[in-house]
Amino acid sequence: MMSYLRIILLTMATMLLQACSGGNDNQPAADEQAAPAEEVARVFIASPANGATVTSPVTVVFGIENFALAPAGTPAAGTGHHHLLVDTDLPALDQPIPADASHLHFGKAQTETSLELSPGKHTLQLLLGDGNHVPHDMALISEPITITVTEAPAVE
């Protein structure tokens, strides 16, 4: 009889402890819920698509996510403006981005441009710069795309 009473008491004690602990040990408490993952900033070329065949002039649409566009000269953290690299490698990421025919600056926070490109293959890539045209410490760089420019058909 004594062992039966012990089993009942142990069972009741276990149930009482479980009830006081908040229930299912497999479910985290509300204050232990995992925080949502931090959204990652990125830049990308929305159009034209990688591998596209186009005619000149080419409209290039810039994409940006989880980061704010701001004109050149804006000192605010978390802001920047686009630079389009045409047929060139990435510049030094710790210095101002050059301004020439291969490094096009969009210091008014523009989100697209129209480019005159010669027939043939071309590579395009975006690099976000801060208010001083310097890439951010964690540089925001798009994947490069390759496009083929063809001559427009002759108008009769």
pLDDT at 3: 58
Maximal C-alpha separation, the chain:
109
Average pLDDT of the residues of the chain: 84
Count of the separate structural domains present in the chain: 1
Which carries the bigger pLDDT value, residue 105 or residue 153?
Answer: 105
Closest by CA to 69, choosing from 60, 81, 84, is 81
What is the C-alpha separation between 131 and 79, in angstroms, rounded? 8
What is the C-alpha separation between 53 and 6, in angstroms, rounded? 82
Q: pLDDT tens digit string along 113-151?
A: 999 999 999 999 999 999 999 999 999 999 999 999 998
Examine residue 79 and state whether it is found in any structural domain, yes or no: yes
What is the C-alpha separation between 55 and 57, in angstroms, rounded? 6
pLDDT at 53 > cutoff 80: yes
CATH of the domain at 103: 2.60.40.10
In 21-79, which ranges are continuous DSSP H helix?
none
Amino acid at residue number 116: E
Give the rounded percent of residues in the chain with a pLDDT score beyond 90: 70
Number of other residues whose CB lies within 10 A of the CB of residue 62: 23
Examine residue 16 and state whether it is found in any structural domain, yes or no: no
pLDDT at 37: 52
Q: pLDDT tens digit string along 16-33?
A: 445 554 444 444 444 444
Quote the DSSP letter at residue 31: G
pLDDT at 7 > cutoff 70: no
C-alpha distances in angstroms, 51 versus 84, 102, 121, 127, 148? Answer: 17, 20, 9, 20, 7
Examine residue 107 and state whether it is found in any structural domain, yes or no: yes
Q: Which domain holds residue 103?
A: 42-150
What global pTM score does this model have?
Answer: 0.74
